[in-house]
Amino acid sequence: MSYKKLANFTLFVAGWWTALLYGNALALIALFIVVMLHFVMWRDMRDIFVILGFIFCGFAVEWAFMANGVQDYRSNLPPAWSICIWAMLGTTMRYSLSWLINRPLWSALVALLVAPAFYFNSVQFGPAGWGRPMWQCLLAIALVWSLLAAFLSGVLMPLIEQMEPAEGSTS
């Protein structure tokens, strides 16, 4: 793994912990820093589509989790900190997690194992709660994320990779 890819993943993890532990205001600041540093390292405008896609997808998934009692954020809408985490995750897809592109089965397996751990931490260390028994929530998270990861890896990211880079972009 190159230093830039390692920095990419480290920025995501640091941003994730900042958002989780310190809430909306610092999550937005962390997102700004992560995205700005991302575009300093990689000047590929296709990443805007990935990040925006993750924001919209994240809102839909978090809202569905809330509506079905998987996550309890004690609000009517997904909190900004959770959507910031989704956006920061989007910065990793073409770089530190690029080894998963065109590997939907591996992506599904990784998501099946990793996503529940991240959500578990959001309940243990952050402001989220379980809306149902924990095992049901973790199972739902694992299944949704494995399907989502397979789609992202096998369909969406290959489409983004096929797009022509915008003029002035350097990968």
Evaluate if residue 171 carries a pLDDT over 60: no
Task: Check if the beta carbon of residue 153 is closer than 8 Å to that of residue 159.
Answer: no
Mind listing the pLDDT tens digit for each residue in 90-149? 999 999 999 999 999 999 999 999 999 999 999 999 889 999 999 999 999 999 999 999
Q: Assess if residue 105 is contained within a domain.
A: yes
Q: Assess if residue 131 is contained within a domain.
A: yes
Number of separate domains in the chain = 1
pLDDT average, residue stretch 25-50: 95
Pairwise CA distance, residues 102 & 128, whole Å = 33
Helix (H) or strand (E) holding 144: helix 134-151
Give the pLDDT band of residue 165 (cuts 50, 70, 90). Answer: confident
Q: Assess if residue 167 is contained within a domain.
A: no
What predicted TM-score, i.e. pTM, was given to this entire model? 0.92
pLDDT at 167: 59
pLDDT at 170: 60
Q: Assess if residue 138 is contained within a domain.
A: yes
Residues 6+ apart with CB under 8 A from 166: 44, 45, 46
Q: Which of 70, 72, 118, 71 is nearest to 92 (CA)?
A: 118
Mind listing the pLDDT tens digit for each residue in 57-79? 999 999 999 999 999 999 999 99
Could you tell me the residue range of the domain that residue 126 belongs to?
3-162
Q: Assess if residue 63 is contained within a domain.
A: yes
pLDDT average, residue stretch 23-42: 97
Give the pLDDT band of residue 164 (cuts 50, 70, 90). Answer: confident
Mind listing the pLDDT tens digit for each residue in 148-162? 999 999 998 998 888
pLDDT at 161: 85
Residues 6+ apart with CB under 8 A from 65: 71, 140, 141, 144
Evaluate if residue 166 carries a pLDDT over 90: no
pLDDT at 67: 96
Q: Assess if residue 111 is contained within a domain.
A: yes
